[in-house]
Structure 1
Amino acid sequence: MKLVIQRVTRASVEVDDEIVGEIGRGLMVLVGFGLNDTTKEVDYLSKKLVKLRIFPDENGRMNRSVKDIGGKLLLVPQFTLYGRTKKNRPSFHKALNPDDATQLFDYFVRKCGEDIEVETGEFGAYMKVDLLNDGPVTILLEKDFSEDD
């Protein structure tokens, strides 16, 4: 499972000229699932995401989480995070199939939503993502428990 996290002042996702998800201050997160991903990776990364301290405290140090600042999450499914670029045309054979990825994405949204308000993009749709990156701060989080053996 891979997350590309961007600290934002605002972000939105549009599908067919309609905004389907929108937040103010918070995190816009691209979410991708690989072939070995299960709810175990989702459970781990959903907790990590909500607790990740990348917002400034009163001294300007990254010491506050999105939950601490009363921010929101905009979660955007993004299978292309598993694109392999060994050749000039990306290959997506390491990405989880759409049916299983949809289920894991929905589960991820529910898990994150236990702690914080969540908006989403639309799985499988052509989306336009608009954001104002704050910092800029961009963090990559990955977890594959099958590789931990």
Structure 2
Amino acid sequence: MSEKESPVARTVLQQCLRASLMVKPAEEGSEAEYVQIDRGMVIYICFFKGATDEILPKMGHESSSGKIVSILDLPGSLLIVPQATLGGKAKGKAMQYHNNINKEDGLRLYEAFVALCEKELEAKENVVIKHGTYGNRQVLKLDTNGPYTHMMEF
């Protein structure tokens, strides 16, 4: 992406010792449902207008000591969290999300990204892949592994 191009996606990558994400709130007669991983990485993901399937393979990478590495090379499990608020821009005292992708295309890209990660990591032993629910409010509990957080734009 050149300096003049606007990003079409943003991710925040954060190492964790443990993470738990509510994917379905409690209802009358049923408890809330959670997905959980132990040591690994949480990937928060947001798509902007103009995002296409072509961007997906590039999104599962992070910088490590100045070198880009794939999530395939990292130890641990993966929790993928849809995070539309990563697309916010401050305007006065409020946040606006005008550059975010529409919900239908965002859901399709999110599901495709999750499927790509599952396919790429299925052969790795002791790797768990969990993901949140696109478009729903979610509650996250996270034990970080140091202040190790990276933002990437694509």
TM above 0.5: yes
Please report the TM-score for the alignment, with normalisation by the length of structure 1. Answer: 0.80
Residue matched to 1:16:
25
User: Which residue does the alignment assign to 1:108?
Assistant: 113
**3-state SS in 2 of match to 1:138:** strand
Task: Work out which of the residue numbers 45, 66, 71 in structure 1 matches 2:76.
Answer: 71
Which residue of 141, 144, 152 corresponds with 1:130? 141
Q: TM-score, normalised by structure 2?
A: 0.77
Of all paired residues, the percent bearing the same amino acid is 27
Q: Secondary structure at the match of 1:140?
A: strand
1:93 counterpart SS class: coil
* Corresponding position of 1:2: 10
1:53 and 1:74 mapped to 2: Cα distance? 19
Cα distance in 1 between the residues matched to 2:21 and 2:46:
16
Task: Give the superposition deviation at 1:68.
Answer: 4.1
Task: Tell me the amino acid that sits aligned with residue 110 of structure 1.
Answer: A
What is the alpha-carbon distance in structure 2 between the residues aligned to residue 63 and residue 95 of structure 1? 26
**Alignment coverage as a number of residue pairs:** 133
For the aligned residue pairs, the C-alpha RMSD in angstroms reads 2.2
Structure 2 portions without partners, runs of 5+? 1-8, 27-31, 122-127
